[in-house]
Amino acid sequence: IMGMKNILCYGDSNAFGLEAETLERYCETERWSGILSSLLKNEYNVIEDGLCDRNAFLKNEKGSEYCAQENLSPCLNNYSNIDIIVLALGTNDLQFAYNFDEEVLKTGLLNLINIVKNYNTNTKIIIIPPVKLKNDVISGYFGYQFNEISVMRSDKTFYLHKEIAQQNNCYYFDFNNRLDLYES
């Protein structure tokens, strides 16, 4: 929309708005990106680009669209100007099928930040870490993808997201702790 600033909400099923119990998409007034759009409707154009099963840092056997490392640059090139990008990714990388560790997260997050900065050095970046996994994920619908190791990995990632955001002049917002907002 002419004259409005653009916010790209880029991420996985949490950015898509997947309701885990029904496997349906939350309606626009219930998903966080839709609420954001409603709150900012006169000032910002909110673009939703969430994809179920999208990984942040690791290759996904479903293809390049499902891997932010491969898909983010082409996605950004589809738009003439993104003023703010919200990177809300990382849950799928915690699946036990992937070899995920702290080094993968550090390198991967820095790569995503650099992709955005190469697109436009003026684009503001907001990093949102994944939803913290709890042990009930193991016995729930997604138990075939997550185990105790996934939960343990989840616990160890949050401080890294925040640290990398701070070191790279990015904003940081943790949905797990809504008061944890870091502004560079």
Summarised one tens digit per residue, pLDDT across range 15-62 is 998 888 888 999 999 998 999 999 998 899 999 999 999 999 999 999
Helix (H) or strand (E) holding 25: strand 24-25
Q: What are phi and psi of 176, to 5 degrees?
A: -70, -25
Please tell me whether the overall predicted TM-score, pTM, comes out greater than 0.85 for this model. yes
pLDDT at position 1 is: 47
d(CA 6, CA 1): 8
Helix (H) or strand (E) holding 19: strand 18-19
Reference 75, options 106, 31, 119, 117; nearest CA is 119
d(CA 128, CA 161): 8
